Amino acid sequence: MKGLIFSVKRYSIHDGPGIRVTFFMKGCPLSCWWCHNPEGISQQPEQVKVAEKVGDEEFIKFRQAGEYYSVDDVLEILEKERPFMAESGGGVTFSGGEPMLQSEFLLEALKACKETGYHTAVDTSGYSLPTNYSAIIPYTDLFLFDIKHLDDDKHEKFTSVSNTLIINNFKMILDSGRDVMVRIPVIPGFNDDDHHLEKIKSFISENRADNLRKICLLPYHRIGSSKYKRMNIPDRMEGVEPPSAERMEELKVFFAGTGIKVKIGG
Protein backbone atom coordinates (compact mmCIF):
# COMPACT_ATOMS: atom_id res chain seq x y z
CA MET A 1 0.00 0.00 0.00
CA LYS A 2 1.22 3.48 -0.83
CA GLY A 3 0.22 6.97 0.27
CA LEU A 4 0.13 10.08 -1.89
CA ILE A 5 2.28 12.80 -0.32
CA PHE A 6 2.88 16.25 -1.80
CA SER A 7 5.56 17.53 0.53
CA VAL A 8 7.94 16.30 3.22
CA LYS A 9 9.18 18.86 5.69
CA ARG A 10 12.20 18.04 7.81
CA TYR A 11 13.15 20.06 10.92
CA SER A 12 9.58 21.19 11.33
CA ILE A 13 8.93 23.00 14.62
CA HIS A 14 5.30 24.03 14.13
CA ASP A 15 3.52 20.70 13.86
CA GLY A 16 3.78 19.37 17.39
CA PRO A 17 6.50 19.18 20.07
CA GLY A 18 10.23 19.19 19.29
CA ILE A 19 11.82 18.80 15.91
CA ARG A 20 9.61 16.79 13.59
CA VAL A 21 9.29 15.41 10.12
CA THR A 22 5.93 16.38 8.62
CA PHE A 23 4.39 14.45 5.75
CA PHE A 24 1.81 16.48 3.85
CA MET A 25 -0.68 14.02 2.43
CA LYS A 26 -2.55 14.89 -0.71
CA GLY A 27 -6.31 15.29 -0.93
CA CYS A 28 -8.77 17.25 1.18
CA PRO A 29 -12.59 17.09 1.28
CA LEU A 30 -12.77 20.72 2.42
CA SER A 31 -12.35 23.83 0.33
CA CYS A 32 -11.40 26.57 2.78
CA TRP A 33 -11.32 30.03 1.25
CA TRP A 34 -7.98 30.76 2.93
CA CYS A 35 -6.24 27.44 2.19
CA HIS A 36 -2.55 28.11 1.59
CA ASN A 37 -1.89 24.63 0.21
CA PRO A 38 -4.17 24.48 -2.86
CA GLU A 39 -1.80 21.89 -4.34
CA GLY A 40 -2.82 19.60 -1.47
CA ILE A 41 -6.54 19.48 -2.24
CA SER A 42 -6.81 17.23 -5.31
CA GLN A 43 -6.46 13.51 -4.63
CA GLN A 44 -4.42 13.04 -7.79
CA PRO A 45 -0.77 13.84 -8.50
CA GLU A 46 -0.54 17.04 -10.54
CA GLN A 47 1.95 19.41 -12.09
CA VAL A 48 1.95 22.82 -10.39
CA LYS A 49 3.81 26.00 -11.20
CA VAL A 50 6.28 27.12 -8.55
CA ALA A 51 8.39 30.27 -8.33
CA GLU A 52 12.14 29.96 -7.84
CA LYS A 53 14.37 32.92 -7.08
CA VAL A 54 17.89 33.17 -8.46
CA GLY A 55 19.41 36.43 -7.21
CA ASP A 56 16.80 39.10 -7.92
CA GLU A 57 15.22 37.14 -10.75
CA GLU A 58 12.19 34.94 -10.28
CA PHE A 59 11.68 31.91 -12.51
CA ILE A 60 8.51 29.88 -12.88
CA LYS A 61 8.89 26.16 -13.30
CA PHE A 62 6.71 23.07 -12.96
CA ARG A 63 6.94 20.66 -10.08
CA GLN A 64 5.14 17.41 -9.42
CA ALA A 65 2.76 17.79 -6.45
CA GLY A 66 2.09 14.28 -5.19
CA GLU A 67 4.29 11.22 -5.14
CA TYR A 68 3.56 7.75 -3.86
CA TYR A 69 5.42 6.61 -0.72
CA SER A 70 5.34 3.22 0.94
CA VAL A 71 5.43 2.89 4.73
CA ASP A 72 9.06 1.73 4.36
CA ASP A 73 9.84 4.95 2.45
CA VAL A 74 8.38 6.94 5.36
CA LEU A 75 10.46 4.98 7.89
CA GLU A 76 13.60 5.45 5.83
CA ILE A 77 13.14 9.23 5.85
CA LEU A 78 12.48 9.23 9.58
CA GLU A 79 15.49 7.06 10.36
CA LYS A 80 17.81 9.75 8.96
CA GLU A 81 16.31 12.36 11.29
CA ARG A 82 16.05 10.13 14.35
CA PRO A 83 18.88 11.80 16.35
CA PHE A 84 17.33 15.30 15.98
CA MET A 85 13.90 14.03 16.85
CA ALA A 86 15.10 12.04 19.85
CA GLU A 87 17.15 14.90 21.27
CA SER A 88 14.38 17.48 20.90
CA GLY A 89 11.45 15.31 22.01
CA GLY A 90 10.05 15.50 18.49
CA GLY A 91 8.58 12.92 16.17
CA VAL A 92 6.52 12.52 13.05
CA THR A 93 3.41 14.46 11.99
CA PHE A 94 0.98 13.52 9.25
CA SER A 95 -0.67 16.63 7.87
CA GLY A 96 -2.21 17.64 4.56
CA GLY A 97 -4.50 18.22 2.81
CA GLU A 98 -6.42 15.94 5.08
CA PRO A 99 -4.45 12.83 6.08
CA MET A 100 -7.65 11.02 7.12
CA LEU A 101 -8.66 10.87 3.48
CA GLN A 102 -5.99 8.16 3.09
CA SER A 103 -6.99 6.49 6.32
CA GLU A 104 -5.76 2.98 5.47
CA PHE A 105 -2.27 4.15 4.59
CA LEU A 106 -2.26 6.51 7.56
CA LEU A 107 -3.14 3.68 9.93
CA GLU A 108 -0.35 1.48 8.57
CA ALA A 109 2.16 4.33 8.73
CA LEU A 110 1.19 5.27 12.29
CA LYS A 111 1.43 1.65 13.44
CA ALA A 112 4.88 1.29 11.91
CA CYS A 113 6.05 4.61 13.41
CA LYS A 114 4.87 3.61 16.87
CA GLU A 115 6.52 0.20 16.56
CA THR A 116 9.74 1.97 15.64
CA GLY A 117 9.52 4.26 18.65
CA TYR A 118 8.45 7.62 17.24
CA HIS A 119 6.09 10.15 18.81
CA THR A 120 3.20 10.46 16.36
CA ALA A 121 0.89 13.37 15.57
CA VAL A 122 -1.99 13.77 13.14
CA ASP A 123 -3.02 17.23 11.95
CA THR A 124 -6.67 17.02 10.93
CA SER A 125 -9.65 19.13 9.92
CA GLY A 126 -11.77 16.65 11.88
CA TYR A 127 -13.78 15.78 8.80
CA SER A 128 -13.70 12.01 8.52
CA LEU A 129 -15.75 9.04 9.68
CA PRO A 130 -15.56 8.48 13.45
CA THR A 131 -14.53 4.86 12.75
CA ASN A 132 -11.43 6.16 10.94
CA TYR A 133 -10.45 8.12 14.06
CA SER A 134 -11.20 5.16 16.35
CA ALA A 135 -8.81 3.04 14.26
CA ILE A 136 -5.87 5.45 14.53
CA ILE A 137 -6.36 6.62 18.13
CA PRO A 138 -4.25 3.77 19.64
CA TYR A 139 -1.27 4.76 17.44
CA THR A 140 -1.57 8.55 17.64
CA ASP A 141 0.05 10.38 20.55
CA LEU A 142 -1.23 13.82 19.62
CA PHE A 143 -4.02 15.27 17.50
CA LEU A 144 -3.67 18.77 16.06
CA PHE A 145 -7.36 19.47 15.57
CA ASP A 146 -8.76 22.45 13.68
CA ILE A 147 -11.81 24.28 14.93
CA LYS A 148 -12.72 26.86 12.32
CA HIS A 149 -16.27 28.03 13.03
CA LEU A 150 -19.05 26.92 15.35
CA ASP A 151 -21.90 28.27 13.21
CA ASP A 152 -22.77 25.50 10.79
CA ASP A 153 -24.02 27.74 7.94
CA LYS A 154 -20.93 29.88 8.05
CA HIS A 155 -18.68 26.82 8.29
CA GLU A 156 -20.33 25.30 5.24
CA LYS A 157 -20.16 28.53 3.24
CA PHE A 158 -16.44 29.05 3.83
CA THR A 159 -15.17 25.45 3.90
CA SER A 160 -17.84 23.62 1.83
CA VAL A 161 -18.68 21.16 4.63
CA SER A 162 -20.85 21.10 7.75
CA ASN A 163 -19.13 21.24 11.15
CA THR A 164 -21.38 18.65 12.86
CA LEU A 165 -19.12 15.69 12.18
CA ILE A 166 -16.06 17.75 13.11
CA ILE A 167 -17.42 18.78 16.50
CA ASN A 168 -18.52 15.22 17.31
CA ASN A 169 -15.11 13.85 16.34
CA PHE A 170 -13.39 16.50 18.46
CA LYS A 171 -15.34 15.37 21.53
CA MET A 172 -14.73 11.71 20.77
CA ILE A 173 -10.97 12.20 20.46
CA LEU A 174 -10.85 14.23 23.67
CA ASP A 175 -12.79 11.48 25.45
CA SER A 176 -10.20 8.94 24.25
CA GLY A 177 -7.61 10.62 26.47
CA ARG A 178 -5.15 11.25 23.66
CA ASP A 179 -3.39 14.61 23.71
CA VAL A 180 -5.10 17.29 21.65
CA MET A 181 -4.00 20.74 20.55
CA VAL A 182 -6.82 22.86 19.14
CA ARG A 183 -5.83 24.92 16.14
CA ILE A 184 -7.94 27.98 15.40
CA PRO A 185 -7.16 29.78 12.15
CA VAL A 186 -7.83 33.47 12.75
CA ILE A 187 -9.51 34.58 9.56
CA PRO A 188 -10.63 38.22 9.36
CA GLY A 189 -14.27 38.49 8.36
CA PHE A 190 -14.91 34.79 8.93
CA ASN A 191 -14.43 33.83 12.55
CA ASP A 192 -12.85 36.81 14.34
CA ASP A 193 -15.89 38.83 15.40
CA ASP A 194 -16.45 39.26 19.14
CA HIS A 195 -19.62 37.19 19.21
CA HIS A 196 -17.99 34.17 17.60
CA LEU A 197 -14.82 34.50 19.63
CA GLU A 198 -16.90 34.36 22.83
CA LYS A 199 -18.69 31.31 21.46
CA ILE A 200 -15.52 29.45 20.64
CA LYS A 201 -13.97 30.34 23.99
CA SER A 202 -17.04 28.95 25.80
CA PHE A 203 -16.94 25.82 23.65
CA ILE A 204 -13.31 25.18 24.56
CA SER A 205 -13.92 25.94 28.24
CA GLU A 206 -16.86 23.52 28.29
CA ASN A 207 -14.63 20.82 26.77
CA ARG A 208 -11.63 21.56 28.95
CA ALA A 209 -9.75 18.40 29.90
CA ASP A 210 -6.24 17.53 31.07
CA ASN A 211 -5.41 16.14 27.63
CA LEU A 212 -6.47 19.38 25.90
CA ARG A 213 -2.92 20.64 25.97
CA LYS A 214 -2.85 23.83 24.02
CA ILE A 215 -4.74 26.33 21.87
CA CYS A 216 -2.80 27.38 18.79
CA LEU A 217 -3.98 30.59 17.11
CA LEU A 218 -2.97 30.55 13.46
CA PRO A 219 -3.08 34.02 11.93
CA TYR A 220 -4.37 34.20 8.37
CA HIS A 221 -1.55 34.99 5.95
CA ARG A 222 -1.33 35.70 2.25
CA ILE A 223 1.25 33.03 1.36
CA GLY A 224 -1.35 31.15 -0.66
CA SER A 225 -2.32 34.09 -2.89
CA SER A 226 0.65 33.79 -5.27
CA LYS A 227 -0.02 30.04 -5.58
CA TYR A 228 -3.63 30.78 -6.51
CA LYS A 229 -2.47 33.10 -9.28
CA ARG A 230 0.01 30.57 -10.62
CA MET A 231 -2.57 27.76 -10.48
CA ASN A 232 -5.30 29.93 -12.10
CA ILE A 233 -7.61 29.44 -9.13
CA PRO A 234 -9.86 32.36 -8.05
CA ASP A 235 -8.56 33.93 -4.83
CA ARG A 236 -11.63 34.19 -2.62
CA MET A 237 -9.63 36.10 0.01
CA GLU A 238 -8.60 38.91 -2.35
CA GLY A 239 -8.15 42.13 -0.37
CA VAL A 240 -8.31 40.47 3.07
CA GLU A 241 -5.41 41.59 5.25
CA PRO A 242 -3.78 39.37 7.90
CA PRO A 243 -4.54 40.22 11.55
CA SER A 244 -1.94 42.50 13.14
CA ALA A 245 0.57 41.25 15.71
CA GLU A 246 -1.23 43.39 18.35
CA ARG A 247 -4.56 41.77 17.51
CA MET A 248 -3.03 38.29 17.83
CA GLU A 249 -1.59 39.21 21.25
CA GLU A 250 -5.05 40.43 22.30
CA LEU A 251 -6.55 37.11 21.22
CA LYS A 252 -3.86 35.19 23.04
CA VAL A 253 -4.81 36.93 26.30
CA PHE A 254 -8.50 36.41 25.51
CA PHE A 255 -8.17 32.65 25.01
CA ALA A 256 -5.87 32.29 28.02
CA GLY A 257 -9.10 32.92 29.96
CA THR A 258 -9.98 29.27 29.23
CA GLY A 259 -7.15 28.23 31.57
CA ILE A 260 -5.43 26.42 28.69
CA LYS A 261 -1.99 27.34 27.38
CA VAL A 262 -2.22 29.51 24.25
CA LYS A 263 0.34 29.94 21.52
CA ILE A 264 0.37 32.11 18.41
CA GLY A 265 1.31 29.87 15.52
CA GLY A 266 1.42 26.07 15.19
Burial of 264 (0-12, 13-18, 19+ CB in 10 A): middle
Of 7, 12, 22, 37, the residue at the interface with ligand SF4 (CB under 6 A) is 37
What x/- string results for residues 110 through 139 when contact with ligand SF4 is judged by CB under 6 A? Answer: ---------------x--------------
Q: Is the dihedral of CA 84, 85, 88, 93 positive or negative?
A: positive
Q: How far is the CB of 147 from ligand SF4 (least distance, A)?
A: 12
Please list, in sequence order, all residues whose beta carbon lies within 8 angstroms of the beta carbon of residue 60, skipping any fewer than 6 positions away: 49, 50, 51, 52, 230
Burial of 195 (0-12, 13-18, 19+ CB in 10 A): exposed
* 16 makes contact with ligand SF4 (CB under 6 A): no
Q: How far is the CB of 73 from ligand SF4 (least distance, A)?
A: 22
Of 1, 31, 164, 205, the residue at the interface with ligand SF4 (CB under 6 A) is 31
Q: Is the dihedral of CA 214, 215, 221, 224 positive or negative?
A: positive
CB 40 within 8 A of CB 51: no
* 15 makes contact with ligand SF4 (CB under 6 A): no
Q: How far is the CB of 26 from ligand SF4 (least distance, A)?
A: 10
* 97 makes contact with ligand SF4 (CB under 6 A): yes
For ligand SF4, the binding residues (CB under 6 A) are: 28, 30-32, 35, 37, 40-41, 96-98, 125
